[in-house]
Structure 1
């Protein structure tokens, strides 16, 4: 079964290649043009593609996938992969020991030590930003999903009721409780023993190694000394809560970085959305072939295309709809790969009332109430109003397929025969007439759908909703608005979007990573669907989701994930647009480029070089 999955995911082929070569421009610099910019440079906070594609090459992890083989690991900052056979996995799968590599330097010259590994994971667990990636680490180590829940379980009071939004204790007497919590719960779970780091899990967790490799940038190893110097948690038990859920820009490493990776951070030009990385000549492993990386967010398609044609860019992000504009360009090749990813549309059942996207805030034809999508008829109407086939065939030019739900094809839990909505405007009209006891149809509504600027496929999806839904009733109004990627992330995470289009690239190749993310009340996309959804998920989805990750029988897990997806369909929890086959246009002088179905970004910077 695993071999079949790998072959499916590793479908990589060349669509076209020119036989003539142009003179190579800037042979020691690789320029990759995409859309947006990093949300942050803090690996403990970052949970988006634009951040990950930069962090992956500044920092390093304990281990890595063996190239494109997602079933095999190789060591990086560790020197061995823990297995039962070599004795590094013990105690029925609850103890993992990682011998740590010696002679590694951080970019500023500091020595890498086992204490840096311990500090990294403890710091990130205690940080645990809302809707961030640390749920994976906390779930694996403690069988909880958030630090807030873990504190509540051990102390009896959620952390959010003990500290305010600025990290100050509401009751100073709680300091002793929180110090003891760190000493008895957090600190013993990750410890240094000689030149090894040992993780103690509260119960076996089969995907544990999968949340640690390269491309899992939330497991990037930090330099403790530098982090403390810059103002991060100092490693002591007293006062750790001051660093819990710190606002993004307040993180001391929001816009600074010091890793051990093949490239060192040089500059982040926010006005141009441009990050510059320079080769780290003191790197312990094989040196990068390229001296400099320009990772540049240029949202306008025409500019990206023109720079690629002129040779001023080596590779660009290209939505499939623009394939005809580049496929015949001279000295260009286009590669393709099927990623472990889906793009979906989800509803917020209880929008934050401070949102700017609700219009009047009432159902008067000029807005919507905050709980507009808590009515299943509104959700069902939108689900019937989207033209799925046109999206795949005309926008993606056939480079995609439509899974019934959020589990990609080829993965455990996928079943092509599961029910899904089809485009049917007559049924959409019926549902709108039922919504809110007929008031939606009678009064009309107005709402705003956002997309991240430069993502033309998501823009088109929002415009499809607008055109189709507005055609049903002149009182229906949908505004489509583009914003920068970090602003889009902030808006959906804060619960201010009535609905949102969002993609997900697997953190690790297991259905839990998709099901938990979209449907669990603590999921990155679950929480932003509002308080009413959270309550629904807690009652109807959380128990089966948590049982499915603990189940070891694949047949039983398949049945459980199918049941979850049926619940999602019956209650219209969202709609999956597509699983895309990505296209990667680049100059023919690009050599060493490799596709990886799970990587953030579209270029393996440490292996790329330019040659005729």
Structure 2
């Protein structure tokens, strides 16, 4: 009897422990793997979600406005913390804030963190968002990396020319001094007065608050701790040794020390990451003690875990939402507009050298010429060819809308009526195809290949729809479809070999500039890939409006520029806009506190409780 009594007590305590663990733990199951825990390397939502729990910025966008975080104020003209016509920003640094290791936040930590982001500047990373406002322009253009100024100051052709081949050792004193002077261009932007950090911009940059708000590169580190881990030592005369590291050699790749509501308990790469409540958190401890993100690739497994209460939040493809909506104790919240726009790209000047995707390279029925999509009638024909409503219904299951331009609906500058969206009208499509190239397109037909990246199912379906309807209206219209792994796809995209392709653009920055500039500017990340015909046209028609939008802090004046950019893009059929996805959330009914924030990469476990 005593033996069974002891077993019963142990079992009771064990079950009680499970109840406590379930009550004090939030579990999310998702598919995206975490790549890094270093905010300055991070440029993906899976890593961003983890970093959001651990690190914090000076400010944070709450879905409607900027709110103070490690700064006690949001700088404004009204209270005198934005000066010099918008080029000086004063941040009052919050006092008594603890890092997870017990260190106290200082203004020096803030300056070190922002400077590190700029010198870190890994290839393809997020540091351009801080580089644009903080570096002086070169020949009137924003600078995206410290490399550009180092190259200019040294008078060499490329960044690699500054170093002994295969090393990070400067070739000579001139090269070393150029590297040091490049750093000084940003170091002089920062000033510390008492507990204030004052940032002096070399030029007006209206979305500056949005730039430092982003989880991609704007997080504040503990300077002393970071240096102890082997990160940049804060000096001007060796920063290049810490510039653009490989991911695994980044000393902060898998270790953390932030001021956020959770500290890192453990990270089992490819499996799960566990966060533990930080009880000295300046806003007060989180309501749950642990938060866990598990990587579970099978939807059926995620669904069963949600039903059983083993998971509180799960990822699910849109086509499975109806399966989930009727499950007891499960909520499906949907219809939240995202900061993402997906488009089909018309390359107006195609690189024809050894290009297998344009057939003969001529308008002879067996190919297309390199300037095929420079013809506005061709672009208009494809706009009316595409079944926009069918696409949203069949592949997005209604969880997306057809955009009327490059601006998401939640940003200022978006206008729901101007321009309207295109719709499928095969009569108009035929009319434009017959006008193109003086009737030669309709008479001879064409042949080319649309390419999408492997795994992009929404893109694949869009390609198939274009192929089907093109063949339907004219059997001489022959379109082939090919998929490529992302690395090959990106290589062909950069080389401008792809005549047409689907790609999405999005981010966690709440300002329309970060959509207008990439889509519409001649030097934009996306616009530049459309080819010379577009970039020459954009220099005259789009660049002045993009530039004008950056000359004022007045959101109404800026909005007018962005609206006009959208109208011009619509009237000239620059892109075939496919979708702006709608966000949704699947969670247990007993989970409380969830709110939607379009700039947040995933969950904010601090808000949640049971």
Q: Does the alignment reach a TM-score above 0.5?
A: yes
- Contact 1:40/1:51 (<8 A) preserved: yes
- Contact 1:385-1:465 within 8 A present in 2 as well: yes
Separation in structure 2 between the aligned mates of residue 495 and residue 254 of structure 1, nearest angstrom: 34
Once residues 171 and 535 of structure 2 are traced to their aligned partners in structure 1, the CA distance between those partners, rounded to angstroms, is: 28
> Mapping of 1:40-439 within 5 angstroms?
40-65=36-61, 67-68=62-63, 70-74=64-68, 76-84=69-77, 86-142=79-135, 144-147=142-145, 148-150=147-149, 160=159, 162-163=161-162, 168=168, 171-172=171-172, 173-183=174-184, 185-213=185-213, 216-248=215-247, 250-272=249-271, 274-347=272-345, 349=347, 363=360, 382-409=382-409, 411-415=411-415, 416-418=417-419, 420-424=421-425
Deviations along 1:365-408, whole A, 9 cap, x unmatched?
99999998677677556544432112334444444432310112
Q: Give structure 1 stretches of 5+ with no counterpart.
A: 1-22
Bigger Rg, structure 1 or 2? 2
1:340–1:505 contact (8 Å) kept in structure 2: no
* In structure 1, C-alpha distance between the alignment counterparts of 2:327 and 2:559, rounded to whole Å: 45
Distance 2:77 2:323 in 1: 53
Aligned CA distance change for structure 1 residues 337 and 211 (closer, same or farther; 3 Å): farther
Q: CA offsets per residue over residues 137-159 of structure 1, 9 Å max, x none? A: 22333452413555567676676
1:480-532, CA deviations, whole angstroms, 9 ceiling, x for partnerless residues?
56x79x99999978989762321424502x32122013233554444565677
Partner of 1:520: 521
Q: Distance in 1 between matches of 2:120 and 2:495?
A: 18
Counterpart secondary structure, 2:606: coil
Contact 1:97 1:198 in 2 (8 A): yes
SS of 2:197 mapped into structure 1: strand
Unaligned runs of 5+ in 2: 1-18
Question: Secondary structure of 1:444's partner?
Answer: strand
Partners of 1:431 and 1:157 in 2: how far apart? 49
Deviations, residues 399-453 of structure 1 (Å, cap 9, x unaligned): 4432310112354322323155433456667878969986997673344312546
Q: CA 1:120–1:553 in 2, change beyond 3 Å: closer, same or farther? A: closer
Task: Assess if the C-alpha contact under 8 Å between 1:348 and 1:528 holds in 2.
Answer: no
Instruction: Name the SS of the counterpart of 2:579 in structure 1.
Output: strand
The 8 Å contact of residues 88 and 98 in structure 1, kept in 2 or not, is answered as yes
In the alignment, the residues of structure 2 paired with residue 354 and residue 113 of structure 1 have an alpha-carbon distance, to the nearest angstrom, of 56
Cα drift, residue 244 of structure 1: 4.0
Provide, for residues 554-590 of structure 1, a one-character-per-residue CA deviation record: whole Å limited to 9, x for no partner.
Answer: 5543443233224423554323223343221211121
CA separation in 1, counterparts of 2:494 and 2:289?
A: 37
Q: Residue 499 of structure 1: SS of its match in structure 2? A: strand
Q: Once the 2 structures are TM-superposed, how far is the Cα of residue 351 of structure 1 from its aligned partner?
A: 8.3
Asked if 2 retains the 8 angstrom alpha-carbon contact of 1:363 and 1:443, the reply is no
Q: Are the aligned partners of 1:495 and 1:530 in contact in 2 as well (CA < 8 Å)?
A: yes
- Residues 468 and 322 from structure 1, CA distance in 2 versus in 1: closer, same or farther, beyond 3 angstroms? farther
- Pair 1:389–1:310, CA change in 2 (3 A): same
Aligned residues: 574
Moved more, 392-401 or 427-436: 427-436
For 1:598, the equivalent position in structure 2 comes to 599
The question of 1:445 aligning with 2:438 is answered: no
1:504 alignment partner in structure 2: 506
The CA RMSD over aligned residues, in Å, is 4.2
- Any idea what SS the aligned residue of 2:549 has? helix
Distance 1:431 1:162 in 2: 50
